[in-house]
């Protein structure tokens, strides 16, 4: 059903399709590291019964309408404090794919939500296992809304809702896996400046004054970028402040 991408070196050369599962991230993390669970393996399903999102949220996706899959990476070359570079690479890969497929305006909301016309079209959940201070495995779980027409959350959208057409899921997957490999190889080849530059160019609300909530207080500030450990950099009246994902919320 899902095609092995023709143009990749290792990503998606092994695709494990399960019609239904709890969470593809869980299936991928349970694969042993020999052959089947090796770097580039993709676990994909039509229906997740317990899809997981960031901050212990659920990830809901109408069965058969969207892409819900997990990619196994083995970034043994990467320091564990640099995991955020994979966050950036994977979000850029999704960004690249969506802009190509829809020709629509798309942004990355820090750290890795993909917004299409200001609404969330894709979420990414990275989960890693570490041993001896090195990565054993990083699972990149991607939920990309494609043909779903109705959402309970008004802040969610799909490629189809925006571009008013239906997409072939295998074709979108093939394209996305190619982009994931290109961006992952940029991390591996230490092309960090280029990745960061691409990320900052499409970072949602960068250089705009917005309201935020952190440490029990609401405050105004301007997103300027990220720091060397991937924290959000906000310029406030008191100077620059830096936040990790657990500390800060956006206020609309």
Map residue 239 onto helix, strand or coil.
strand
Q: Are 144 and 94 in contact (CB under 8 A)?
A: yes
CA dist 26 and 49 (Å) reads 12
Return the number of the residue (177 or 241) whose C-beta is nearest ligand BTN.
Answer: 177
Shortest distance (Å) from residue 145 CB to ligand BTN: 10
- Which of 11, 14, 23, 160 touches ligand BTN (CB under 6 A)? 23
Binding flag, residue 141, ligand BTN (CB under 6 A):
yes
Cβ distance to ligand BTN smaller for residue 138 or 241: 138
Residue 27 or 162: the one with the smaller Cβ distance to ligand BTN is 27
**Contacts (CB under 6 A) with ligand BTN, residues 114-133:** 123-125
Instruction: State the number of binding residues for ligand BTN (CB under 6 A).
Output: 20
What is the Cα–Cα distance from 89 to 130, expressed in whole angstroms?
Answer: 20
Distance in angstroms (rounded) separating the CA atoms of residues 53 and 125: 6
Q: How far apart are CA 249 and CA 252, in angstroms?
A: 10
Q: Are 15 and 177 in contact (CB under 8 A)?
A: no
Interaction of residue 169 with ligand BTN, rule CB under 6 A: no
Q: What is the footprint of ligand BTN within residues 191-220 (CB under 6 A)?
A: none
Q: What angle do CA 124, 157, 185 make, to 5 degrees?
A: 30
Span interacting with ligand BTN, options 7-15, 45-53, 150-158, 188-196, rule CB under 6 A: 45-53
Q: Is the peptide bond before 111 cis (omega within 30 degrees of 0)?
A: yes
Interface residue with ligand BTN, options 2, 15, 16, 25 (CB under 6 A) = 25
Cα–Cα distance list, 207 to 88, 106, 240, 245 (Å): 19, 17, 13, 19
Closer of 28 and 78 to ligand BTN (Cβ)? 28
Q: CB 150 → ligand BTN: shortest distance, Å? A: 18
Mind spelling out the 3-state secondary structure of 173-217?
HHHHHHHHHHHHHHHHCCCHHHHHHHHHHCECCECCEEEEEECCE
Tokens of 233: 């950099």
Nearest residue to ligand BTN on Cβ basis: 123
Q: Would you say 113 or 181 has its CB closer to ligand BTN?
A: 113
**Rule CB under 6 A: which of 58-117 touch ligand BTN?**
59, 68-70, 113
Q: Which is nearer to ligand BTN, 14 or 70 (CB)?
A: 70
CB of 17 to ligand BTN, least distance (A): 13
- Give residues in contact with ligand BTN (CB under 6 A): 23-25, 48, 51-54, 57, 59, 68-70, 113, 123-125, 141-143
């Amino acid at each position: 059903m899902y095609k092995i991408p023709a143009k990749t070196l290792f990503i998606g050369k092994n695709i494990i399709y399960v019609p239904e599962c709890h969470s593809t991230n869980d299936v991928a993390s349970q694969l042993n590291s020999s052959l089947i669970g090796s770097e580039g393996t993709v676990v994909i399903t039509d229906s997740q019964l317990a899809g997981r999102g960031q901050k212990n949220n659920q990830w809901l996706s109408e069965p058969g309408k969207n892409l819900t899959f997990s990619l196994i990476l083995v970034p043994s070359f990467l320091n564990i404090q640099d995991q955020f570079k994979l966050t950036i690479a994977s979000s850029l890969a999704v960004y690249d794919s969506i802009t190509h497929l829809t020709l629509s305006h798309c942004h990355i909301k820090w750290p890795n939500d993909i917004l299409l016309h200001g609404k969330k079209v894709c979420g990414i959940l990275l989960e890693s296992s570490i041993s001896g201070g090195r990565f054993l495995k990083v699972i990149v779980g991607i939920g990309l809304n494609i043909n779903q027409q109705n959402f309970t959350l008004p802040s969610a959208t799909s490629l189809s809702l925006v571009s008013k057409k239906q997409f072939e899921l295998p074709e979108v997957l093939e394209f996305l896996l190619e982009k994931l490999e290109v961006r992952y190889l940029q991390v591996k080849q230490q092309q960090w400046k280029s990745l960061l530059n691409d990320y900052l160019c499409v970072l949602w609300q960068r250089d705009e004054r917005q309201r935020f909530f952190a440490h029990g207080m609401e405050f105004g500030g301007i997103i300027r970028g990220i720091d060397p450990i991937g924290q959000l950099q906000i310029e406030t009246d008191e100077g620059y402040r830096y936040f990790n994902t657990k500390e800060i919320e956006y206020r609309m």
